[in-house]
Structure 1
Amino acid sequence: MTTEYSTTRTSAYTAHITDSLGITVSPAGIQSGSNRLDVDFVIPVYNEEKDLERAVTTLSMYLSGLRDAFGTTLHETHAASFTWNILIADNASTDSTWDIACTLVQRDSAHVRAIRLDRKGRGFALKTAWLTSPARVLAYMDVDLSTGLEHIDSLVGPLLASEADVSLGSRLRADSTTTRSAKREFISRTYNLLLRTYSGARFSDAQCGFKAIRADTFRTLLPALEDNEWFFDTELLLLAQAHGFRLHEVGVRWIEDPHTSVHILDTVLKDLRGMQRVKRSLSQVNFPSTSIRSVERRRDPILRGSLVPIQLLVSVA
């Protein structure tokens, strides 16, 4: 059952979080209205002064029904069927990202909020942003908007309808359409193969920056979520699967951002270490044999163990 948060309780809780974690909240960034919020779309950013305004404007106009997923202005509006907000989570940017975020909040305080953290880490930014949100469903997407916005309804719909607990975009399903380099394609497929063979993952793509989770599910998993960087996504999915939450995958249209700032080798090494840690942690917990389930029933056989010892990969990397 989803936990309800009154405006007063949410404001008090947010104040506690901002005091304890050193968060700056844009002056108009916390809504005072009493309307129920269905979905918060978090955009985590670090030094994204060039892309932030475009991303927030594009997403806002799409959700308002003013433009389609390809940026074309619509003559007839088709607004989202749910209430929504966009939450900018600036994790210690050193450029003008925060100033731009504050301007965007002032321009549309009804739909845009912003928080600034004093430390880096995408996982940390998402944890904090989701903790300060009063929404029933917590979502996020990368600032480059590589994933087609037309998939938003498929992402959040099952969560709002209580048909799933976690929803994730996948670039590796048969119904997905992707445009990216051979190098990134190879790395992604290899990593997700390791997840299936070593960690027993039942999902096809852990790293697509297009995910959503029910607020009550997130708060259940939060105490066990240790990673504050790029492995956060994978850890969230593995824990959700182990606890028996229902996972829903969405095949997506995805176009690679050639200017991504992700350091691939460093991220891969941290991901491998994270896989070791989570497997060790989950092996110490006795889950009911019927606890692992998924909304997706069509799955390839899951291979147990690993084709290549993960310890060897970590040492080589």
Structure 2
Amino acid sequence: MRTARRLALIDRPTSELAALPRRAPLSAHHRDPVLDVVVPVYNEENDLEPCVRRLHAHLGETFPYAFRITIADNASTDGTPRIAARLAAELPGTDWIRLAEKGRGRALHTAWSRSRAPVLAYLDVDLSTDLAALLPLVAPLISGHSDIAIGTRLARGARVVRGPKRELISRCYNGLLRSTLAVGFSDAQCGFKAVRRDVAERLLPLVEDQGWFFDTELLVIAERAGLRIHEVPVDWVDDPDSRVRIVSTALADLRGMARLGRALACGRLPLSALRRSDGDLAGELPAGLARQAVRFAAVGVASTLCYLLLYVGLRPATGAQAANALALLASAVANTAANRRLTFGVRGRGGALRHHLKGLAAFLVGLALTSGSLAALHRTAPGAGREVELMALVAANLAATLLRFLLFRAWVFPARDNDRRTTGSS
């Protein structure tokens, strides 16, 4: 059986949950679960029982609140329904539902929609992800700090055992997402996620996919709406008997990306209605805009002063245009680094190169504006003095700063906010 082949991995510390009150015995509160863990299955008669029993034992020993396990059988044709029914009868706090059609997304959509637990989660039946990460996954949702939590195999701190083929496919898929939909999360399809129920109630009606792209679509919509996504690096061991059909799944994912990209570009998704109720409602400023604008302005003042000092120092030796280009390049690199950390709250080295490359592209916009203003000044007023040059450059830099802020927010650091997204490895 596949579950028998899981490798023993070192448990992660969960000291952040030590202060939480311990739950009463499950039998006393199983009708009022705080967490509902869904296990979607299709023809898993061999792995279903050991998976559910191991999950039930783990939650019973470590989870500080009442829980429920929901087996979501999507049209199995083997003995899976019989085993699911027996487990639901034998294990307290275990339930099962049966769907007439296949599709992991369909199973999750159905199970999450009917649940009344405050926190909803799911994991794959093969238990590729070490269960020690389950508590760190759901803790930020129980506390209200985050809206969605995902396990990631691609962040620093994750320990992954899998072949080069699946590693390459995973990295290419997530790289394609970053380049086409400008996502900030690192791993879209790790089968280990959780969401607050109130957030799921707003997200699920907008998610069209019923298959493997369900996870990606839900995360992209959530991120574009400015919801908080918490990432937990996981220990993950590849299942050598995976049932995923790589080619057909990849084609379906590409179609899903194209459809979702069109919907976002055309404004067909009501993202404002999804935003958090704590100051990010429809009709108000986008998530964190005021705070980001203030910090960006402060960084901009410092980098402008740096730019002007460099320009004045370089101009006698290099000429106006060369001095402008060199001073702007140096200040742009520093500006991107400062805004990455201070304005958009991005910590760690992950994505730093990509951010700086995009920041340099934004720098080219500033270079075009400032160089154009110098050229126009020298053509219309050939005898203009140094003070007039500086005034023209300051005006051009103000325009370039505004454009750069918009580019940073929408493209370089899309939908990021210092308190919106945290990464466990940072």
**TM range, normalised to the smaller chain?**
0.7 to 0.9
Would the aligned equivalents of 1:249 and 1:296 in 2 still touch at CA under 8 Å?
no
Secondary structure of 2:44 counterpart: coil
Deviation for aligned residue 1:174: 1.1
What letter matches 1:37 in structure 2? P
Report deviation, 1:247.
Answer: 0.3
The residue matched to 1:85 in structure 2 has which SS? strand
**8 A Cα contact 1:241 1:292, kept in partner:** no
Shift of 1:35: 4.9
Q: Which structure 2 residues correspond to residues 91-110 of structure 1 after superposition, within 5 A? A: 91-108=74-91, 110=92
User: SS state of the match for residue 64, structure 1?
Assistant: helix
After superposition, residues 1-317 of structure 1 pair within 5 angstroms as 35-65=31-61, 79-108=62-91, 110-285=92-267, 290-291=286-287, 297-298=346-347, 300=351, 301=354
How far has the Cα of 1:172 moved from its partner? 0.2
Segment drifting more, 277-286 vs 138-147: 277-286
Shift of 1:291: 3.3
Secondary structure at 2:40's aligned position in 1? strand
Contact preservation (8 Å) 2:155, 2:233: yes
- Which stretch shows the higher mean deviation, 243-252 or 32-41? 32-41
Give distance in 2, aligned partners of 1:105 and 1:82. 19
Relative to 1, partners in 2 of residues 1:32 and 1:123: Cα closer, same or farther, differing over 3 Å?
farther
Q: Is the 8 A contact 1:242 1:292 kept in 2?
A: no
Asked whether the 8 Å contact 1:248–1:296 carries over to 2, the reply is no
For structure 1, which runs of at least 5 residues remain unmatched after alignment?
A: 1-30, 66-78, 306-317
Partners of 2:129 and 2:235 within 8 A in 1 = yes
After superposition, give the CA deviation of every residue in 1:48-103 in whole Å (9 maximum; x if it has no partner): 000000100000111111xxxxxxxxxxxxx3112111000000000000000001
Tell me if the contact between 2:130 and 2:236 (Cα under 8 Å) persists in the aligned partners. yes
Give, in whole Å, the separation in 1 of the partners of 2:30 and 2:155.
40
Per the alignment, in what secondary structure is the counterpart of residue 116 of structure 1?
Answer: strand
TM-score, L = length of structure 2: 0.58
Gaps of at least 5 residues in structure 2 are 1-26, 273-284, 290-343, 359-410, 413-426
Q: CA deviation at 1:296?
A: 7.6
- The CA RMSD over aligned residues, in Å, is 2.2
Output the amino acid matched with 2:112.
W
Distance 1:265 1:241 in 2: 27
Contact 2:147–2:195 (8 Å) recurs in 1: yes
CA distance in 2, matches of 1:195, 1:218: 22
Distance 1:36 1:116 in 2: 22
The AA in structure 1 aligned to 2:66 is: T
Structure 1 distance, partners of 2:140, 2:64, is: 13
- How far did residue 227 of structure 1 move? 0.1
Aligned 8 A contact 1:49 1:95 in 2: yes
Provide the aligned length of Structure 1 versus Structure 2: 260
Aligned to 1:139, the other structure's residue is in SS state strand
**Higher relative contact order, structure no. (Cα contacts within 8 Å, ≥ 6 residues apart):** 1
* Partner of residue 71, structure 1: none
C-alpha contact 1:159 1:213 (8 A) present in aligned 2:
yes
User: What is aligned with 2:384?
Assistant: none
Q: Secondary structure at the match of 1:113?
A: strand
Decide whether aligned partners of structure 1 residues 164 and 186 sit closer, same or farther in structure 2, where only a CA change above 3 A counts: same
Distance 1:162 1:279 in 2: 30
Which has more helix, going by share of residues? 2
Q: 1:275 to 1:296 in 2, by over 3 A?
A: farther
Q: 1:121 to 1:267 in 2, by over 3 A?
A: same
Name the CA shift for 1:287/1:124 in 2 (closer, same or farther; >3 Å): closer
1:132 alignment partner AA: R
Cα deviation for residue 132 of structure 1 reads 1.2
TM-score of the aligned structures, taking structure 1 as reference length: 0.78
